[in-house]
């Protein structure tokens, strides 16, 4: 009986003809009684049985299955870089790994009332209503091995603004004199595909562009910096002008470099193989269920 209840809780509601997107404890209890698994059972008992195996049908998370046919190969190259080698050869001291992307439409919002600082037994208070003062696109490049961040504000993203970021970066030492500079990036329109690779290599002979697979921005370490920037410098957003927003973005980059360390990246090729094998099993189960 217990196994049957747990199995029912692990089914999608649609498969049982229920007009629900997910089931609560009460929904599971009603369906158990309706299906005749048991005539009487309390919601508390259902909860206790499901809790034993941490089954929580009322929770959900977003999920994107890999769609890139070369996902394993493309992702593996980036994981190799993070472990310090390229095509089986260890990287040298004068070779660098850069992670780059854009954080689009960062708004400057001027609150209708000034924020109040925190006080004993009172959190900081921030006015909910605000006036929009415009927005920046923030283009950034993160040096994976040295924990350095380089960024610039642009009115919009695109091939030309991205080219300015690359130039800003590559004209500085030690990158200007580097043996190779690996640029990891996603497939956004500013730096997509072979055309981007050709442009970068034509302008900078030491640059090696490396694209993530489609829908795999989580492999791009600059996204970790963006999440820190959002939490620490942009939430709450109480910036009165675009100038103040630009000053905040550049000021936080300078501040963060004083405390930053290279991110401790633990996801390896072995983990990638395990993940993709699990995806394959999910796909096979989905196809079997649909058949």
Q: Where are the domains of the chain?
A: 2-52, 71-115+128-257
Are the CB atoms for 142 and 265 separated by under 8 Å? Answer: no
Cα separation, 24 vs 27, in Å, equals 5
Read off the tokens for 21. Answer: 């997107």
| Distances from the Cα of 172 to the Cα of 91, 167, 176, angstroms | 20, 9, 6
The sheet carrying 207-211 orders its strands as 148-154, 130-143, 95-111, 180-185, 207-211
**What phi, psi does 103 have (nearest 5°)?**
-105, 105
Region class of 3: left (phi > 0), else alpha (psi between -120 and 50), else beta: alpha
- The pLDDT value given to residue 127: 80
Class of residue 127 by CB neighbours under 10 A (exposed 0-12, middle 13-18, buried 19+): middle
Are the CB atoms for 106 and 135 separated by under 8 Å? Answer: yes
Region class of 84: left (phi > 0), else alpha (psi between -120 and 50), else beta: left
- Angle at CA of residue 9, ends 7 and 11, nearest 5°: 75
| Distances from the Cα of 145 to the Cα of 59, 76, 206, 266, angstroms | 37, 18, 17, 14
- As a 3-state breakdown, the chain gives helix, strand, coil percent values, each rounded to 5, of 45, 20, 40
Residues 6+ away with beta carbon under 8 Å from 278: none
Cα separation, 130 vs 143, in Å, equals 35
Q: Which residues of the chain register pLDDT less than 50?
A: none
- The pLDDT value given to residue 99: 98
- Helix (H) / strand (E) element for 101: namely strand 95-111
Residue positions counted in the chain: 291
CATH superfamily of 71-115+128-257: Ribonuclease H-like superfamily/Ribonuclease H (3.30.420.10)
Are the CB atoms for 32 and 10 separated by under 8 Å? Answer: no
Alpha helices in the chain (DSSP H): 2-9, 25-35, 43-52, 71-82, 159-170, 193-203, 222-233, 242-257, 269-290
Name the nearest CA neighbour of 24 among 65, 58, 60: 58
């Amino acid at each position: 009986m217990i196994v049957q209840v747990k199995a029912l809780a692990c089914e999608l509601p649609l498969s049982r003809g229920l007009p629900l997107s997910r089931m609560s404890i009460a929904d599971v209890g009603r369906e158990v009684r309706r299906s005749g698994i048991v005539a009487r059972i309390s919601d508390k008992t259902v909860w206790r049985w499901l809790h034993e195996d941490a089954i929580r049908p009322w929770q959900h998370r977003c999920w994107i299955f890999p769609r890139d046919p070369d996902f394993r190969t493309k992702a593996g190259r980036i994981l190799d870089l993070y472990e310090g080698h390229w095509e089986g050869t260890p990287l040298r001291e004068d070779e660098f790994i850069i992670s780059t992307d854009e954080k689009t439409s960062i708004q400057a919002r001027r609150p209708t009332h000034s924020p109040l600082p925190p006080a004993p037994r009172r959190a900081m208070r921030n006015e909910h209503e605000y006036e929009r003062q415009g927005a920046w696109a923030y283009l950034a490049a993160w040096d994976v091995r040295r924990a350095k961040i380089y960024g610039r504000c642009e009115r919009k993203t695109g091939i030309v603004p991205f080219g300015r970021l690359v130039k800003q970066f590559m004209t500085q030492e030690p990158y200007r004199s580097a043996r190779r500079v690996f640029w990891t990036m996603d497939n956004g329109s500013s730096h997509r595909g072979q055309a981007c690779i050709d442009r970068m290599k034509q302008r900078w002979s030491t640059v090696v562009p490396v694209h993530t697979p489609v829908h795999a921005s989580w492999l791009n370490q600059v996204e970790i910096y963006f999440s820190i920037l959002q939490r620490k410098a942009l939430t709450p957003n109480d910036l009165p002008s675009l100038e103040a927003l630009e000053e905040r973005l550049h000021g936080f980059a300078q501040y963060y470099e004083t405390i930053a360390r290279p991110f401790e990246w633990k996801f390896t090729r072995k983990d990638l193989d395990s993940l993709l094998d699990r995806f394959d099993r999910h796909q096979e189960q989905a196809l079997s269920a649909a058949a």
